[in-house]
Amino acid sequence: MSTITLDITNSLKSSGNKGGLEKKAVNSAASELGQYNKALWKNPYGFMELPGKRFQFKEIKELAGRYKKGKIKNLVILGIGGSSLGTETIFDALLHPFHNYGEDMRKGLPRYFILDNIDPHTINRIVDVVRKEIDHTLLVAISKSGETPETISQFMIFKRLMEKGKNFKEKIILITDQKKGILKQISDKEGYHVLNVPEGVGGRFSVLTPVGLFPSAVMGIAIDDIARGALDMSNHIRKAKYTNNMAIALASILYLMDKSGRNIHVIMPYCERLSGFADWFRQLEAESLGKNSFGPTPTKSMGVTDQHSQLQLYVDGPKDKCIMLMYSARERRPITKTFPYIAELDYLAKKDLNELFHAEFLGTSLSLNEANTPNFTVLLNDINAYSLGALFFLYEMAIAYLGHLYGIDPFDQPGVELGKIYTKAIMGKTGLEKQKNKADLILSAPKTLTTF
């Protein structure tokens, strides 16, 4: 049985869906990417080599093993964007959905707190929780550059908190660049355990490095299976031809949808365990492709929840959207005949919740098709470490191919860097006086306000 199936039927123009793409256009884009694919593997991007190299797996396993034996009760992860979204995706997909709620769900594993924001309210609440168990808290700070102001500020706060515990240096892990950056300077000076982001791998492509895999190993997740899934997908992408190549087909569809005016790409999982993956994909597509006035807008919906909030727009609103459905559901739960005196409920009684969930998914696809809203489906036979690794690599490769089709570099993020510069300038970082003056001038201009 297939691990992942990509069904692009409803993205193609047909008598039942006039909003789809011409098959000839898809084949043309796939042919171009097929030629590019041959050259690309001769000089691959850094992330493409990760599944085979298994970068620092030995160090990850040895270090994670120490904390499994060390009665760690809290895992606190400091990181933002690519430094946290991959880990969130893995945890959402593979851990109990109520992991932090009680020992029965955790089965001896620590609670986890992923701090991907600096809202003081949240930070203060986490501090209140972990300060009571500081001797049993593991702190992981992640920043490739080592200079991300959000993560560094969090580390400054939590490092001081950790100092109040016993042998605190043994319970701080830094994941950063191998050669440079503030976190590296700190580790060199103070002697913390360090894992690295390999050269040539950017943050949003770093889930298959210690960034995503070390926290996963601490949680007992089989990182070898994640890597194996990614490697098998890598072999498929390297060898498969044209639209039989899942990454090439995916990239061709997404590119042509954007170019045909369907520039809003909605990723809509029918599987709550893939909610984190939808967030991970949003960053991957937006930050990689949103440049030089190009780039689709990725958004997230959840099936079935957003059938009752967003589907009206997708069916009856502007024809500027392409819907990427994802589906996986294996567990079953019988619907009991609880109200035998209400005949209107007989169509549900003695059925299974799995059947209803699948019918809801099919109903959405059919309604989108009838409304000429193009959509396609990624079906996963199961959600496990292997399939998740394959899924990560599939979408990373699709983004690399999309960069080629757009003629842009999918691995930089100049817009993000500009925001970081202004943030540091406003906070008074030396060397950014010009930017500080410019910011002050703009911020001091008269405002048009309405107050309540």
DSSP character at residue 179: S
Long-range CB contact pairs, 181-187, < 8 A, 24+: 181/143, 181/144, 181/145, 181/146, 181/147, 182/146, 182/147, 182/152, 183/141, 183/143, 183/146, 183/152, 183/155, 184/146, 185/146, 186/146
In degrees, rounded to 5, the angle at the alpha carbon of residue 287 between the alpha carbons of residues 31 and 311 is 80
CA dist 211 and 205 (Å) reads 10
Instruction: Give the Cα-Cα-Cα angle 100, 282, 376 (nearest 5 degrees).
Output: 105
| Interatomic CA distance for residues 339 and 215, integer angstroms | 47
> What amino acid positions are annotated as catalytic residues?
287, 308, 420
Token representation of residue 312: 């009206």
Q: What single letter denotes the amino acid at residue 452?
A: F
Residue with the two structure tokens 């709550």? 272
Torsion sign over Cα 420, 404, 9, 358: negative
Please count the other Cβ atoms lying within 10 Å of the Cβ belonging to residue 298. 22
Provide φ and ψ at 16, rounded to 5°. -90, -10
Distance CA 219, CA 319 (A): 43
